């Protein structure tokens, strides 16, 4: 029932990450910087946060992946993201984008689209409304208001991934990953994840970490999200609320072993 090849791959990706400890360069929002840095450390990566236009080109050149997140954007930060992103593209370093709040304000939607238009992005991760807001004017992609089920979202995501020529990872109770051709669903996760700020942003950062060791964006996204969701399930067991849960989630990212990942991830391939 669950994809065994991707379960194996999840386990291998985590193992490689823990051995290689790649530098992950984040230009992200103020709210989640601390939490995502701790999550990246817990999974085995080496996080760095650097946003000054004077240094982002140099910093990204040492990185295994670049994570861009517009959660507390300003134009100066978007400019730095573009500088870092162009250098990353030049060096074939994968980029993951989190279009936080795209669709909520014009400034966010336009900034996200600017990043997508000017950079080659490996994976875009967001919730359904954020991701689907990225469709160009006149696109065939259905708007968020017409999405009534995971299947509707999957169909819309498929078209949009093709249109944007990238991989989309839409997270929610069920995560959807598509490159416009294949669709995978990740069934791992826990509802408490919705009560901790920055779990979405952390999912994005973990996709970045997995992209640094797995050059297939679909596989990197599905395996990292499944690992993260599994850590959420494990962390929730002894939690008394979202406070203890956010801490237990970091512990779980760290303590979960590769065998537990192989057996515990629940990734399905949806026939197109």
> In 3-state terms, what secondary structure has residue 65?
strand
Q: Which residue has the tokens 């599994």?
A: 230
> In 3-state terms, what secondary structure has residue 176?
strand
Radius of gyration (Cα) for the chain, nearest Å?
Answer: 17
Is residue 145 involved in binding a second copy (CB under 8 A)? no
By CB under 8 A, what part of segment 146-165 binds a second copy?
A: none
Identify the bridge partners of residue 25 per DSSP, sorted by sequence position. 48, 66
Is residue 24 involved in binding a second copy (CB under 8 A)? no
Give all strands (DSSP E) within 141-186, no chain letters: 167-170, 175-178, 183-186
Question: Which 8-state DSSP code applies to residue 26?
Answer: E
Identified binder of a second copy from the candidate list 8, 16, 72, 174, rule CB under 8 A: 72
Is residue 62 involved in binding a second copy (CB under 8 A)? yes
Tokens of 240: 């008394």
φ and ψ at residue 267, rounded to 5 degrees = -115, 130
Residues 57, 46: Cα–Cα separation, whole Å: 18
Give all strands (DSSP E) within 100-258, no chain letters: 123-126, 167-170, 175-178, 183-186
Identified binder of a second copy from the candidate list 145, 148, 149, 241, rule CB under 8 A: 241
Tokens of 182: 């294949």
Is residue 229 involved in binding a second copy (CB under 8 A)? no
Is residue 247 involved in binding a second copy (CB under 8 A)? yes
* Binding region for a second copy (CB under 8 A) out of 133-141, 178-186, 203-211, 253-261: 253-261
Is residue 79 involved in binding a second copy (CB under 8 A)? no
Is residue 74 involved in binding a second copy (CB under 8 A)? yes
| Nearer CB in complex with a second copy: 55/181 | 55
Flag whether 125 is marked binding: yes
Helix (H) or strand (E) holding 30: none
Identified binder of a second copy from the candidate list 29, 171, 212, 221, rule CB under 8 A: 29
* Binding region for a second copy (CB under 8 A) out of 65-73, 119-127, 172-180, 208-216: 65-73
Kindly report the number of other CB atoms within 10 A of residue 107's CB atom: 15
Q: Give the binding-site size for a second copy (rule: CB under 8 A).
A: 52
| Nearer CB in complex with a second copy: 105/136 | 105
* Binding region for a second copy (CB under 8 A) out of 58-66, 130-138, 150-158, 174-182: 58-66
> In 3-state terms, what secondary structure has residue 189?
coil
Residues 136, 180: Cα–Cα separation, whole Å: 16
Flag whether 229 is marked binding: no
| Nearer CB in complex with a second copy: 7/256 | 256
Min dist. Cβ of residue 47 to a second copy (A): 7
Q: Per-residue x/- marks for a second copy, 106-125, CB under 8 A?
A: xxx-----------------
Feature table: binding site: 49, 125, 171, 198
Feature table: binding site for ATP: 125, 171
């Amino acid at each position: 029932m669950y994809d065994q090849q991707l379960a194996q791959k999840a386990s291998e990706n985590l193992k490689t990450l823990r051995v290689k400890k790649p530098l992950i360069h984040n230009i992200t929002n103020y709210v989640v910087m601390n939490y995502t840095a701790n999550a990246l450390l817990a999974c085995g990566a080496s996080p760095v946060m650097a946003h000054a236009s004077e240094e982002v080109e140099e910093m990204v050149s040492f990185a295994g992946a670049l994570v861009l997140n517009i959660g507390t954007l300003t134009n100066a930060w978007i400019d730095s993201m573009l500088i870092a992103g162009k250098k990353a593209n030049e060096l074939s370093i994968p980029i993951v984008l989190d279009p936080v709040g795209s669709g909520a304000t014009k400034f966010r939607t336009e900034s996200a689209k600017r990043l997508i238009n000017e950079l080659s992005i490996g994976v875009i991760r967001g919730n359904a409304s954020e991701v689907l807001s990225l469709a160009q004017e006149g696109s065939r992609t259905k708007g968020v208001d017409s999405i009534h089920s995971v299947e509707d979202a999957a169909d819309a995501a498929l078209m949009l991934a093709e249109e944007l020529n990238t991989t989309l990872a839409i997270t929610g109770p069920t995560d959807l990953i598509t490159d416009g051709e294949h669709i995978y669903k990740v069934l791992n996760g826990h509802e408490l994840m919705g009560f901790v700020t920055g779990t979405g942003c952390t999912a994005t950062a973990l996709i970045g970490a997995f992209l640094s060791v797995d050059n297939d964006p679909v596989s990197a996204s599905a395996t990292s999200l499944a690992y993260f969701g599994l850590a959420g399930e494990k962390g929730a067991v002894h939690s008394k609320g979202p406070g203890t849960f956010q801490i237990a989630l970091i512990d779980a990212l760290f303590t979960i072993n590769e065998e537990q990942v192989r057996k515990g991830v629940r990734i399905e391939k949806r026939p197109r």
